[in-house]
Structure 1
Amino acid sequence: MSDRWVPATPQEQSAMDVLAGVRAFSDAMERMHSGMKGDMDMNATDVAALRLMIMREQQGRAVSPHEVAKHLRISTASTTKLLDRLTASGHLRRQPHPLDRRARIVVLTDEARTAFYRHFGARLGAMRGVVMQYDEQELDVIARFLSEMGTAMDPDV
């Protein structure tokens, strides 16, 4: 393990402040997702699967059961149980892949989408309010920073 980093320059102190902000943001996100877990009577893996589905839907990407397993780092057997549970609870449905009828994809139901936005809607609005305080160039830098941080934290994504 490396020694604790002690900032020696103003830039290093600013970097330390940014990393502290990232940790605080990550903690706030975790608390927000924990609240959803309790409100929707789900476990952490169920909520993580729904978050993946929301993110991929916003990107216009289909999600295969294999992608769910890889993203959550769980076995295919665990993924099958998870998908069965979320299908039975009305959050997901399985359907044929639009380009390969032999393959299957999973999609959010309208009920899941409604529950997600009911739980997160006010918070998403508050976050949008914060984001809109920045100009385009600042937002470009922030978006690049967050993307690069995500890659640094999880290079497999």
Structure 2
Amino acid sequence: MQDHPSDSAGARSMFDLVSNDPDASLIDRSSIGEDELRQIGELMNALGELRAAERRLSEAAQRYMRLNETDMRALHFLIVTGYRGELVTPGQLAQHLGISTASTTKLLDRLERGAHIVRAPHPTDRRALTVSITPETHRAARESVGRQQARRFHAAARLDAAEREIVIRFLREMASDLETPDGASAD
């Protein structure tokens, strides 16, 4: 097994509450027992380990495909929309990525030079173009990133339905809380 920084005892405590708020100035934990505090700390550290694993996976995929993060997100979008049989325009891609149309044009130029995508006339709108991933890039993405991402399914499948519901609720609540401005209630 390969050693990662998250394998050390110091890294395991990087995200727990006591390590990040030793004087309890951010979170009042006076009503939380030691066992609960320890378990919450383990949960926060497990999330940190997941983020680190995802970062390593993303970096490895980017190196393998010789692309940056936005390029990879664009290709993923094109793969998913392709499976759905949807046509994608540069404007739709820009909206999905949250980037300007000028940045999208540069991204598409770069991906086209690398033989990752093809631009073609839209079949029903003479003014528009469609963007699709090349079969070679789709195959490479599926064999590298796709196989790695499929491992998430196996972890979820090992949970029973009730456990999955708890994890889903937790992750959605955490995402919502992280997007809630300071001082505002997420409820």
TM (norm. structure 2) is 0.61
Instruction: Please give the secondary structure, in 2, of the residue aligned with 1:63.
Output: coil
Match of 1:79 among 90, 93, 104: 104
Whether 1:69 and 2:94 are equivalent positions in the alignment is yes
Aligned partner of 2:8 in structure 1 is none
Structure 2 match to 1:133: 158
Alignment partner of 2:69 out of 44, 54, 60: 44
Residue 27 (structure 2) pairs with residue 5 (structure 1): yes
**How many angstroms does 1:83 deviate by?**
0.6
Code of the residue aligned with 1:81 in structure 2: it is: K
AA aligned opposite 1:5: I
- Structure number with bigger Rg: 2
On the 8 A contact 2:78/2:88 being kept in 1, the answer is yes
Distance of aligned partners of 1:94 and 1:35 in 2 relative to their CA distance in 1, 3 Å threshold: same
Pair 1:123 & 2:151 matched: no
Gaps of 5+ in 1: none
**Cα distance in 2, alignment partners of residues 46 and 120 from structure 1:** 13
Query: How far apart, in 1, do the equivalents of 2:153 and 2:53 lie?
Result: 16
* Structure-2 residue corresponding to 1:106: 131
Instruction: Report the identity percentage.
Output: 33
Distance in 1, Cα, partners of 2:169 & 2:89? 27
User: 3-state DSSP class of the match of 2:154?
Assistant: helix
The answer to whether structure 1 residue 21 and structure 2 residue 46 are counterparts is yes
Is the 8 Å Cα contact of residues 7 and 16 (structure 1) preserved in structure 2?
A: no
RMSD: 3.5
CA distance in 2, matches of 1:148, 1:129: 23
CA contact (8 A) 2:65 2:141 kept: no
> Residues 26-63 of structure 1, C-alpha deviation per residue, up to 9 Å, x if partnerless?
22112111111111222232223223334444566543
Q: Give structure 2 stretches of 5+ with no counterpart.
A: 1-24, 181-187
Tell me the number of residue pairs that the alignment of Structure 1 and Structure 2 aligns: 154
Aligned counterparts of 1:143 and 1:64: Cα–Cα separation in 2: 32
- For 2:138 and 2:48, locate their aligned partners in 1 and report how far apart those are by CA, in whole Å: 28
Question: Closer, same or farther in 2 for the Cα pair 1:147/1:51, shift >3 Å?
Answer: farther
TM-score after normalising by structure 1: 0.70
Describe the SS at the equivalent of 1:35.
helix
C-alpha change, 1:148 and 1:34, in structure 2 (3 Å) is same
In the alignment, residue 80 of structure 1 is paired with which amino acid?
T
